């Protein structure tokens, strides 16, 4: 195997998730698959071909390096950079038909200059500031953008967009409503200036479900693709009026390893570093070659759970950099090489990312994106 663990990605689960999303947004709204953060830890080079096989054609990334990885495995797909793009990367983006956000005047000036030099069209999306106060063109900057675009022809206005400040929480309701109003107003003003985009988009996963009117021409779907809800609130909002409250999403990712060795520990002996865990009886333990350097949080020491031989077993002692110890006293026949499920299903049990998150005080997003790039990904049915 040449690795201490591996990740399985389910093609059928991804397709089921897209089927659900299409039932939500309809056939007229384009789904852009957000693959920032190494496709939320699933792996860009593995996930993108799966998405294409499922019929997806548009991908959203954060930076030029993610766009490059996506382009390598999806030569014909539409790719949109929502964040980092240095001036020296603009030429590559324009040459390779990569779309990108404009959220500052300088980027637009440079893009138009380079596009003219290349005799190509810069494919741009204007990101408007509506109240997120992160990236986005403020009203004064929009006036300068209008001036620049009216003086130039080397561009295609692919989109006009914004991002909502926490659509996954009802606590942000008033703020989101103000953002929606601001976007509508600015969209009308731009149209009066002759700036009409091919596509208008504002909705992330949470907004797509909680604020359906924000779906517009395209939705930028991240966490939902991978089988997770943006928040418990979002799930409750979705199912509250449904007769069937079964979770329609399917997890794509499973994370597996195997037992490295087993041994016995006598009553009163400490296990691992320090004195955090003392054997209260004679125990059988197993070591697994996965630790915090692989994305298994040290905060799961003495409280994590994994699956071995169809049973849920406890992590005992401190999670090390490269290994952890399991209590296998109740399954003494466990041996070297037996499968260990860190995330996923085995027998009648499952270990979910959300259960990890509750124990380690991490968001689903955070835990997934911390899975290292070098863990092998395998696509399964």
253/298 Cα distance (integer angstroms) = 21
Same-domain check for residues 62 and 203: yes
Instruction: Answer whether 98's CB lies under 8 Å from 107's CB.
Output: no
Domain of 311, CATH number, reads 2.40.37.10
DSSP type of residue 298: G
104/124 Cα distance (integer angstroms) = 12
The set of residues, in sequence order, having a beta carbon less than 8 Å from that of 254 and lying 6+ positions away, is 7, 8, 10, 341, 343, 344, 345
Strand partners, 203: 219
Please tell me which residue in 18, 36, 256, 277 is annotated as part of the active site. Answer: 36
Residue that is last in its domain, among 211, 240, 269: 240
- Tell me whether residue 357 is in a domain: no
Report the domain count for the chain. 2
121/156 Cα distance (integer angstroms) = 6
DSSP type of residue 129: P
Closest CA to 125 of 71, 85, 92: 85
Closest CA to 312 of 333, 278, 340, 338: 340
Does the pLDDT value for residue 361 go beyond 60? Answer: no
What would the mean pLDDT of 281-300 be, rounded to a whole number? 96
- Tell me whether residue 362 is in a domain: no
290/296 Cα distance (integer angstroms) = 7
Local confidence band at 18 (pLDDT 50, 70, 90 cut-offs): very high
Instruction: Answer whether 244's CB lies under 8 Å from 273's CB.
Output: no
Same-domain check for residues 229 and 118: yes
Residue 364, pLDDT score: 73
Q: Where are the alpha helices (DSSP H) in the chain?
A: 11-25, 36-40, 44-53, 64-73, 87-95, 105-118, 139-151, 173-192, 205-210, 232-239, 353-360, 364-369
Does the pLDDT value for residue 360 go beyond 90? Answer: no
Please tell me which residue in 53, 184, 192, 273 is annotated as part of the active site. Answer: 273
Instruction: Answer whether 203's CB lies under 8 Å from 34's CB.
Output: no
* Mean pLDDT, the chain, whole residue set: 96
Q: What percent of the chain has pLDDT over 70?
A: 97
Instruction: Answer whether 10's CB lies under 8 Å from 54's CB.
Output: no
What would the mean pLDDT of 136-151 be, rounded to a whole number? 97
The set of residues, in sequence order, having a beta carbon less than 8 Å from that of 323 and lying 6+ positions away, is 260, 287, 288, 289, 290, 291
Residue 318 belongs to what domain range? 253-351
- Tell me whether residue 1 is in a domain: no
What would the mean pLDDT of 113-142 be, rounded to a whole number? 98
What would the mean pLDDT of 233-240 be, rounded to a whole number? 92
Residue 12, pLDDT score: 99
- Tell me whether residue 22 is in a domain: yes
Residue that is last in its domain, among 240, 268, 293: 240
CA 82 to chain centre: 14
- Helix, coil or strand: residue 105: helix
Same-domain check for residues 66 and 180: yes
Same-domain check for residues 235 and 338: no
114/116 Cα distance (integer angstroms) = 5
Same-domain check for residues 88 and 186: yes
Domain of 59, CATH number, reads 3.20.20.10
Catalytic residue status for 53? no
Residue 321 annotated as lining a ligand binding site: yes
pTM of the model: 0.94
Same-domain check for residues 194 and 269: no
Catalytic residue status for 36? yes
pLDDT digits (tens, 9 = 90+) for 172-207: 999 999 999 999 999 999 999 999 999 999 999 999
Lowest mean pLDDT among 8-12, 172-176, 361-365: 361-365
- Tell me whether residue 375 is in a domain: no
Contacts of the segment 232-235: beta carbons below 8 A, 24+ positions apart: 233/168, 233/169, 233/170, 234/168, 234/205, 234/206, 234/209, 234/210
168/161 Cα distance (integer angstroms) = 18
Strand partners, 284: 264
Same-domain check for residues 195 and 259: no
Largest interatomic CA distance in the chain: 81
- Tell me whether residue 224 is in a domain: yes
- Helix, coil or strand: residue 258: strand
Distances (CA, A) of 292 to 14, 160, 229, 319: 28, 41, 25, 7
Same-domain check for residues 164 and 269: no
Residue 212, pLDDT score: 97
Residue 2, pLDDT score: 82
Residue that is last in its domain, among 240, 261, 283: 240
Distances (CA, A) of 285 to 175, 256, 300, 317, 358: 52, 18, 17, 11, 25
Instruction: Answer whether 14's CB lies under 8 Å from 49's CB.
Output: no
What order of strands is seen across the sheet that includes strand 99-102? Answer: 199-201, 155-161, 122-127, 99-102, 78-81, 58-61, 30-34, 218-221
Same-domain check for residues 71 and 218: yes
Does the pLDDT value for residue 271 go beyond 70? Answer: yes
Same-domain check for residues 331 and 297: yes
């Amino acid at each position: 195997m040449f690795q201490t663990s591996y990740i399985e990605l389910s093609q059928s689960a991804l397709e089921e998730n897209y089927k659900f999303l299409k039932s939500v947004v309809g056939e007229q709204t384009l789904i852009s698959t957000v693959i920032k953060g190494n496709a939320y830890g699933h792996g860009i080079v593995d996930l993108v071909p799966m998405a294409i096989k499922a019929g997806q054609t548009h991908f959203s990334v954060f930076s030029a390096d993610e766009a490059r990885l996506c382009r390598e495995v999806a030569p014909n797909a539409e790719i949109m950079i929502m964040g980092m793009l240095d001036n020296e990367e603009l030429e590559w983006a324009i040459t390779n038909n990569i779309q990108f956000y404009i959220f500052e005047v300088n980027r637009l000036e440079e893009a138009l200059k380079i596009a003219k030099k290349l005799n190509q069209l810069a494919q741009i999306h204007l990101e408007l500031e509506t109240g997120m106060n992160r990236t986005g063109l403020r009203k004064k900057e929009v006036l300068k953008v209008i001036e620049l675009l009216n003086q130039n022809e080397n561009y295609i206005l692919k989109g006009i967009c914004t991002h909502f400040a926490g659509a996954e929480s009802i606590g942000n309701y008033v703020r989101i409503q103000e953002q929606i109003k601001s976007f509508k107003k600015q969209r009308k003003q731009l149209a009066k200036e002759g700036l009409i985009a091919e596509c208008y988009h504002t909705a992330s996963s949470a907004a797509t479900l909680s604020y359906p009117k924000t779906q517009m021409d395209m939705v930028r779907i991240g966490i939902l693709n991978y089988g997770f809800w943006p928040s418990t609130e979002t799930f409750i909002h979705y199912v509250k009026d449904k007769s069937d409250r079964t979770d329609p999403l399917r997890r794509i990712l499973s994370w597996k390893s195997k037992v490295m060795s087993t041994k016995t520990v006598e009553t009163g002996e400490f296990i691992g570093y320090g004195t955090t865990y003392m054997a209260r009886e004679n125990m059988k333990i197993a070591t697994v070659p996965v630790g915090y350097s692989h994305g298994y949080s040290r905060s799961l020491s003495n409280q994590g759970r994994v699956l071995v031989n169809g049973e849920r077993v406890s992590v005992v002692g401190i999670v090390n950099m490269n290994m952890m110890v399991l209590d296998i006293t109740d399954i003494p026949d466990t041996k070297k090489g037996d499968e260990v499920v860190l995330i996923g299903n085995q027998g009648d049990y499952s270990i979910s990312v959300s259960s990890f998150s509750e124990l380690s005080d991490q968001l689903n997003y955070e835990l997934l994106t911390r899975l290292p790039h070098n863990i092998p990904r395998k696509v399964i049915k």
